[in-house]
């Protein structure tokens, strides 16, 4: 699978610390550099017949439909697409006008991930989103009108401008709009963001973990009651609408990342990441030099990643794979730790897969870190 990072946004959301630029001055140069990177890295994926292509960001919908198709065509020069390939475009509601959707519907893109975040203006203002509540709803309807049935929306819970009743309304609206996939995240105060600055100055209240916990578990019960499967901590899908791309990440499959700050993985022990600097990325690719750094994962690193990722999903950690891959001295510590947590009912084993019971999923990262090799 292939991920393409589009490092541009119209404006900076208050909570975001991803890599992007609000200037589109070098957009053409960036697309040319991405074209060059696809060529230079075409042999890094063993499987040339890819099952998913994902445009993330940033905000990929700041590109035109022709520019998106240009990148797809570049990928097709060196890779083939499976007949049922999933091609996802992340998009902001304010970009999904009739003209853009009409052109996009003629492209190979067949899945939209819409950055809705909330259907309430007060939440959206705090987040410094470029759209309003009315656009949040109308953009989904327009996408459906243009034939995009495979839709995902992002929702953020636990905002200081929200409460459980508002959160219930967000979920009710989502179900009423017949959205088949939801990615939902607790609002977090990330370093070097406007939100961090506002919280430190007392302008905005710090999100309350107990309120986020309450909203998280309400969401689980509500969405499962409406036919959604909770397949990863932050992701819910109707049958047949799981994100194939993200599920590949969670199953440790190889992927190639194109664009500034994009990450890649060979499926075993090598990770790489591109520099998070647009000008340096363009400059290096113009000179036929890859703008990436590489890390060889130690057995300890590989073990910790498998535990962290696996325990965030409904599939859990395959204990047979773990036993085959790692030495006895690594597994000795692990087996002792999991036994204690099984007795405390914080972990369970089903069909030889280690899992966290859903009632403890909100604390999954902390539970997983207790099992890490240090």
Nearest to 136 by CA among 173, 163, 175, 180: 173
Instruction: Using the predicted structure, report yes or no on whether residue 233 has a pLDDT greater than 90.
Output: yes
d(CA 115, CA 96): 11
How confident is the model at residue 250, as a pLDDT?
Answer: 87
Mean pLDDT of the chain: 94
CA atoms within 13 A on the CB side of 69: 10
What is the pairing mode between strands 270-274 and 348-350?
A: unpaired
How confident is the model at residue 24, as a pLDDT?
Answer: 84
Contact (Cβ atoms closer than 8 angstroms) between residue 114 and residue 153:
yes
* pLDDT band at residue 368 under the 50/70/90 scheme: very high
d(CA 332, CA 187): 37
Contact (Cβ atoms closer than 8 angstroms) between residue 153 and residue 118:
no
Instruction: Using the predicted structure, report yes or no on whether residue 331 has a pLDDT greater than 90.
Output: no
Give the pLDDT mean for 285-310: 94
Nearest to 282 by CA among 31, 98, 100: 31
Give the pLDDT mean for 310-318: 94
Instruction: Give per-residue burial for 79-104: e unless 16+ CB within 10 Å, then b.
Output: bebeeebbbbbbbbbbbbeeebbeeb
Instruction: Using the predicted structure, report yes or no on whether residue 302 has a pLDDT greater than 80.
Output: yes
d(CA 186, CA 183): 11
Encode pLDDT of 126-144 as tens digits. 999 999 999 999 999 999 9
Query: 265 - beta bridge partners?
Result: 255, 271
d(CA 41, CA 26): 22
Instruction: Using the predicted structure, report yes or no on whether residue 374 has a pLDDT greater than 90.
Output: no
* pLDDT band at residue 36 under the 50/70/90 scheme: very high
Give the pLDDT mean for 14-24: 81
Structure tokens at 52: 């998913």
How confident is the model at residue 219, as a pLDDT?
Answer: 97
How confident is the model at residue 278, as a pLDDT?
Answer: 94
How confident is the model at residue 334, as a pLDDT?
Answer: 85
How confident is the model at residue 330, as a pLDDT?
Answer: 83
* pLDDT band at residue 336 under the 50/70/90 scheme: confident
Encode pLDDT of 199-226 as tens digits. 999 998 899 999 999 999 999 999 999 9
Encode pLDDT of 52-93 as tens digits. 999 999 899 999 999 999 999 999 999 999 999 999 999 999
Instruction: Using the predicted structure, report yes or no on whether residue 198 has a pLDDT greater than 80.
Output: yes
How confident is the model at residue 74, as a pLDDT?
Answer: 97
Instruction: Using the predicted structure, report yes or no on whether residue 20 has a pLDDT greater than 80.
Output: no
d(CA 237, CA 247): 12
* pLDDT band at residue 329 under the 50/70/90 scheme: confident
Nearest to 222 by CA among 155, 142, 162, 161: 155
How confident is the model at residue 38, as a pLDDT?
Answer: 97
How confident is the model at residue 285, as a pLDDT?
Answer: 97
Give the pLDDT mean for 275-303: 95
Instruction: Using the predicted structure, report yes or no on whether residue 356 has a pLDDT greater than 80.
Output: yes
How confident is the model at residue 14, as a pLDDT?
Answer: 86
Give the pLDDT mean for 316-340: 87
How confident is the model at residue 135, as a pLDDT?
Answer: 96
């Amino acid at each position: 699978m292939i991920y393409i990072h589009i490092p541009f946004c119209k404006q900076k959301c208050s909570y975001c610390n991803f890599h992007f630029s609000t200037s589109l001055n070098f957009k053409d140069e960036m697309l040319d550099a991405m074209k060059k990177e696809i060529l230079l890295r075409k042999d890094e994926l063993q499987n040339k017949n890819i099952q998913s292509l994902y445009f993330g960001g940033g905000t990929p919908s700041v590109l035109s439909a022709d520019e998106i198709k240009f990148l797809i065509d570049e990928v097709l020069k060196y890779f083939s697409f499976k007949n049922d390939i999933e091609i996802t475009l992340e998009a902001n509601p304010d970009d999904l006008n009739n003209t853009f959707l009409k052109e996009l519907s003629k492209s190979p893109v067949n899945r939209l991930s819409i950055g809705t975040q909330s259907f309430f203006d007060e939440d959206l203002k705090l987040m410094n989103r470029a759209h309003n509540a009315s656009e949040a709803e109308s953009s989904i309807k327009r996408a459906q009108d243009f034939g995009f049935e495979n839709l995902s929306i992002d929702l953020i819970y636990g905002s200081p401008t929200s409460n459980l009743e508002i959160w219930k309304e967000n979920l009710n609206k989502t179900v009423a709009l017949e959205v088949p996939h939801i990615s939902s995240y607790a609002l977090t105060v990330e370093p070097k963001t406007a939100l961090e600055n506002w919280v430190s100055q007392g302008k905005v209240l710090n999100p309350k973990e107990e309120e986020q916990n309450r909203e998280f578990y309400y969401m689980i019960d509500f969405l499962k009651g409406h036919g959604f499967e909770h397949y990863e901590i932050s992701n819910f899908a109707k049958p047949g609408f799981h994100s194939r791309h993200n599920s590949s990440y969670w199953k440790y499959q190889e992927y190639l990342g194109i664009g500034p700050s994009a990450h890649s993985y060979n499926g075993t022990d090598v990770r790489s990441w591109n520099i998070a600097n647009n000008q340096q990325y363009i400059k290096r690719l113009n000179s036929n030099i890859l703008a990436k750094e590489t890390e060889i994962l130690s057995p300890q690193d590989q073990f910790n990643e498998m535990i962290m990722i696996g325990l965030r999903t409904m599939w859990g950690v395959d204990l047979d794979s773990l036993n085959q891959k790692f030495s006895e001295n690594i597994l000795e510590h692990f087996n002792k730790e999991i036994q204690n947590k099984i007795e405390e009912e914080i972990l369970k084993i089903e069909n030889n897969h280690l899992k966290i019971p859903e009632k403890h999923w909100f604390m999954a990262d902390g539970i997983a870190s207790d099992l890490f090799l240090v």
